[in-house]
Chains A and B, each alone.
Chain A
Amino acid sequence: MRCKALAALAGCGLFIAQLQAIELSGVVQANLTLADDANSFINDGTDILRFDESAFNAQQAVLRAQQDLGSSFTLDVVANYYQDGEQNIGFSQAQLLYKPLSQDTVKFKARAGFFYPAMSLENVDLGWLSPFTYTQSAINSWIGEELRTAGLELSLYSPGRARRSPWSWAFHAAAFKGNDPLGTVISWRGFAMHDRQSLNNDRLNFAPYPTVIDQDIIWHPAWVEPFHEIDGRLGFYIGAHLDYFKQSSFRYYYYDNMADPLALNDQRLYGWRTKFHSFAAQHKITADTRIVSQLMTGSTAMGDRFVYADFDAFYLMLSHKIDKHRVSFRFDRFRVQEDDIIPIDINSSDGFGFTLAWRYSWRENWQFGVEQHYNKNRAQNRTTLGLNPETEQSQTLVVLQYRWK
């Protein structure tokens, strides 16, 4: 009896010791949105901002848990709540990281699970959020919506300081399953700008474009579940990072989901062969002023060239910090150009946007911010819904944030 009690106590002690190693952090953002009268993509509309009426909203609710498993492994999970969209609670990332201690100047690390490739220099805050603006760039709004790696990434990296060099570098290579429908939303809806990341089992609705849902034309649901495996093939990406001190950073990725465009599942979701190059750069002009930029160019194909589109997107951001204030300004340009065999399914779209945000961290955990956004965009397939292909949208966000680490 006594032995059992002691064993239970020892087990309890071990459990507490394990608990001490769990690190919890999180972000909660609530906003007051002043929106144009619009019909957001998130409500099955064609407009490209997340909020389409003036109201109070829960913008983000992120909880991150990190648990070390011995010296080399860490379990890292990010759970989210969203008031909008189809899946309200779930995971945006869940991964096991392996980073052994090494005295070599070229080191090895790996991760497996459900995660983002580290393409972005914009999404560097907790939970893959942007610390600069609330409305993210067109490129990373799309990544957050449709792209996630369910697979294994292997990396070789060399921190410069340990080699007595100002240059640090890393190479990444990954193989993954799933993500076969990647490209669906940018082909039909076009690029959007928001901060709604898709959760592990999410469904993205878009407007019921007649040529898409018509059984005699494309016959696809007016939604996509972006993380499905459709054809059983592996996709891959490779990436390279180069840093000069901590002043300048450059990241290049080539991504190809290797999907079979003729593969179709019982939900009538297709494989979309999507491949792209991503170039991201950051340079700190001074300790408080930085330029961040990203360029993406690629293509996507579905069916027997039922849809084929080239897409390009770019942003340039200037961000400056003055004491507890950060002001960021970003210009976005995005374009989808179609070249397929169904002329009545007209999917070309393009646009640009300006986003100006001021964020004031007035206390350790609290931040207040105001963002003004404007965009002008055109999507040809709006005409199939009886809408004007061109639209302009403005949005003001007043955001209160609580963040703990």
Chain B
Amino acid sequence: MKKILAGLLLSLVSSQLFADSISVNLKSNKNRPVFQAVVYLEPMTSVDFPRPQAVSVMDQIDSQFVPHILAVQRGSLVSFPNSDSIKHHVYSFSPTNTFELQLYKGLKAAPLPFEKQGEVELGCNVHDWMLGYILVVDTPYFAKTDQKGTVEIDVPPGEYRLKVWHPRIQDDEVTLAQTVNIAGEYSLDLKLKRDLLEDLTDFESNQDEFSDYD
């Protein structure tokens, strides 16, 4: 009985804690929505967040990284399954996490820990066109924008530094960041000042079932 009461109390407290949310809409300088941008909120006061328990997944499907951009909290484990029937050789030279994984068909590699915050660019040494990103953030409050460039994040009330990241964004990260004081519903429209880098999603849309790479 005590446990049930404690559980009810905890759920009440946590629903109170996450009663607020922020909605962000991100548009390019050409007024077009920016898809798959990572929006994250870092508390202005130092908080020691518990380590995330769930294992995040960066899959390889049809010789592409899926998702193209993965955001994880610092300290997360990320697994790299290979859903293709061919070998992949995933690597990163990024200082955030430098590694290589030979991913043979049918073999499961142990998940890798991502202990430093920052950007990780992924490539495959077999399939030169494969490119993926992992953004490691030091907060549990993050999400990716949808097709309309919109993201909604539940967050406890307080003061935060709001940051935005996407590999095509050329705007300076510092000037793009904003301090937000969240108390209740909060909505924010962001517009980039500089052009986005060239869209290269055609590398993914024009897949070939035949390849003399394999």
Contacts and interface: CB of A to CB of B under 8 A. Distances in A.
B207 A246 contact: yes
A246 B131 contact: no
B11 interface: no
Interface of B is mostly: loop
Interface string A4-21: 000000000000000011
Contacts of A99: 125
A23 B203 contact: no
Given A124-B211, A246-B203, A287-B206, A21 B102 contact: yes
A166 interface: yes
Contact of B197 (A103, A164, A245, A284): A164
Contacts of B189: none
Nearest to B202: A245
A21 B131 contact: no
Contact of B207 (A131, A157, A159, A287): A287
B93 interface: yes
Chain B CB count within 10 A is highest, among A103, A118, A123, for A103
B86 A21 contact: no
A21 B104 contact: yes
Contact of A166 (B131, B202, B211): B202
Contact of A165 (B86, B91, B198, B206): B198
A284 B206 contact: yes
B212 interface: yes
B205 interface: yes
A101 interface: yes
Contact of A164 (B89, B123, B200): B200
A164 B197 CA distance: 8
Contacts of B29: none
A384 interface: no
B210 to A, nearest CB: 4
A10 to B, nearest CB: 21
Contacts of B205: 287
B107 to A, nearest CB: 7
Contact of B105 (A23, A131, A157): A23
B104 A23 contact: yes
Given A23-B87, A101-B91, A287-B207, A247 B202 contact: yes
A387 interface: no
Nearest to A99: B125
B76 to A, nearest CB: 24
A125 B129 contact: no
A157 B128 CA distance: 10
Contacts of A166: 198, 200, 202-203
B104 A20 contact: yes
B103 to A, nearest CB: 11
B129 A68 contact: no
A118 B213 CA distance: 10
Given A124-B211, A131-B210, A161 B203 contact: yes
Contacts of A245: 200, 202-203, 206
A184 B93 CA distance: 50
Contacts of A118: 212
A162 B104 contact: no
Contacts of A162: 123, 128, 131
Interface string A96-114: 0001010100000000000
Nearest to B91: A101
Interface string A240-258: 0000011100000000000
A166 B205 CA distance: 13
B208 to A, nearest CB: 6
Contacts of B200: 160-161, 164-166, 245
The 7 closest A-B pairs by CB, nearest first: A159-B128, A103-B93, A124-B210, A245-B202, A246-B206, A161-B131, A124-B212
21 contacts: A21-B102, A66-B87, A101-B91, A101-B93, A103-B93, A159-B128, A160-B129, A160-B200, A161-B129, A161-B200, A161-B203, A162-B131, A164-B200, A165-B198, A166-B202, A166-B203, A246-B208, A284-B206, A284-B208, A405-B86, A405-B105
Interface of A: 20-21, 23, 66, 68, 71, 99, 101, 103, 118, 123-125, 131, 157, 159-162, 164-166, 168, 245-247, 284, 287, 405
Interface of B: 85-87, 89, 91, 93, 100, 102, 104-105, 107, 123, 125, 128-131, 197-198, 200, 202-203, 205-212, 214
Given A162-B123, A162-B128, 6 more contacts: A23-B104, A23-B105, A131-B209, A166-B202, A245-B200, A287-B205
